[in-house]
């Protein structure tokens, strides 16, 4: 008889909370996409050449070397275009169809929640599949979807002004898009928040669980390791999200 994984007893509690919830908000990070083959930011897979993702995901890095930053994002677009939703994404998508009120606030830019059919996804940090004119030229829309793989030229250029394009993601030091922030401010007014696969070190995303708790939500963390949020939630399930959510 294999011993029950440590999360077994907690799964029962989460199941009953899900059954009773009237408004569920899920917050996800890179860990939910790990089983799909998408490298996380801080794990060993988070290295690209000799750089850390967090060194390249900044406006300064882009200003200094747009070619290098675009090679990083082109590498991630190509890699993610081969990745598919895993059982954790599929479980969240099922919740989005079944729960009376549901929001998925994701820090991920891979688009796998949408690919899994999840309803009401808030892209808190943008998307690899969105483009913006880096000059914010007046003829270009604020952002648009561009799934061309590979990109026709490197670095890609704005079709409206021939200036540089930039990936439609939120870099460190950049503000969260106001629409996403407003959606999140509504979504934290929930009765149950489940935080999945995030090191809870990036702000303001990492403060969403505290905002939910302040408004009376029951808070749950599902993560492969303990994080600064583990001691702040009502229920922590430590293990691989794709296994834990498959058990649910």
| Residues binding ligand BV8 (CB under 6 A) | 29-31, 34-35, 40-43, 46, 57, 107, 109, 125, 169-175, 197-199, 201-205, 223-225, 227, 240-242
Which 8-state DSSP code applies to residue 34? G
Cβ 87 to ligand BV8, closest distance in Å? 10
Cβ 52 to ligand BV8, closest distance in Å? 10
Cβ 100 to ligand BV8, closest distance in Å? 26
Q: Exposure of 59 by Cβ count < 10 A (0-12 exposed, 13-18 middle, 19+ buried)?
A: middle
- Cα 201 from Cα 230, distance rounded (Å): 12
Please name the residues in contact with 186: beta carbons below 8 A apart, sequence gap of 6 or more: 103
Cβ 65 to ligand BV8, closest distance in Å? 15
Q: Could you say which of 89, 113, 125, 215 is catalytic?
A: 125
**Nearer Cβ to ligand BV8 (144/161):** 144
Query: Please, are residues 79 and 48 in contact by the beta-carbon 8 Å criterion?
Result: no
133 bridge partner residues: 165
**Nearer Cβ to ligand BV8 (22/78):** 78
At residue 118's C-alpha, the angle toward residues 177 and 172, to 5°, is 30
Cβ 189 to ligand BV8, closest distance in Å? 21
Q: Are β-strands 126-133 and 144-145 bridged in parallel, bridged antiparallel, or unpaired?
A: antiparallel
Residue with tokens 């790990």: 34
**Nearer Cβ to ligand BV8 (70/102):** 70
**Nearer Cβ to ligand BV8 (160/204):** 204
- Cα 175 from Cα 184, distance rounded (Å): 14
**Nearer Cβ to ligand BV8 (41/129):** 41
113 noted as active-site residue: no
- Show the DSSP H helices in 82-231 as ranges: 87-98, 112-115, 178-187, 208-214
132 bridge partner residues: 166
How far, in whole angstroms, is CA 34 from its chain's centroid? 11
Q: Sign (positive/negative) of CA torsion 135, 138, 143, 147? A: negative
Residue nearest ligand BV8, CB atom distance: 31
Report the catalytic residues: 125
């Amino acid at each position: 008889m294999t011993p029950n994984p440590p999360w077994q007893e907690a799964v029962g509690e989460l199941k009953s909370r899900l059954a009773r919830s009237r408004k569920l908000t899920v917050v996800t990070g890179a860990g939910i996409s790990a089983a799909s083959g998408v490298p996380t930011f801080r794990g060993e897979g988070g290295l690209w050449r000799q750089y850390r993702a967090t060194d390249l995901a900044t406006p300064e890095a882009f200003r200094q070397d747009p070619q290098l930053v675009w090679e990083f994002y082109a590498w991630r677009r190509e890699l993610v275009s081969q990745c598919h939703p895993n059982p954790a994404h599929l479980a969240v998508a099922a919740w989005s169809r079944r729960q009376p009120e549901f929001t998925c606030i994701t820090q991920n830019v891979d688009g796998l929640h949408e690919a899994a059919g999840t309803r009401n996804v808030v892209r808190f940090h943008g998307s690899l599949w969105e483009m913006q004119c880096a000059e914010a030229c007046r003829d270009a829309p604020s952002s648009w979807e561009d799934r061309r793989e590979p990109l026709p030229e490197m670095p890609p250029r704005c079709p409206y002004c021939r200036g540089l394009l930039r990936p439609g993601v939120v870099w460190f030091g950049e503000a969260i898009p106001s629409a996403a922030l407003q959606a999140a401010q509504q979504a934290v007014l929930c009765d149950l928040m489940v935080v999945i696969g995030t090191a809870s070190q990036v702000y303001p995303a990492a403060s969403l669980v505290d905002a939910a708790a302040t408004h009376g939500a029951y808070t749950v963390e599902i993560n492969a390791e303990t994080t600064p949020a583990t001691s702040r939630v009502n229920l922590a399930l430590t293990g691989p999200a794709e296994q834990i959510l498959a058990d649910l």
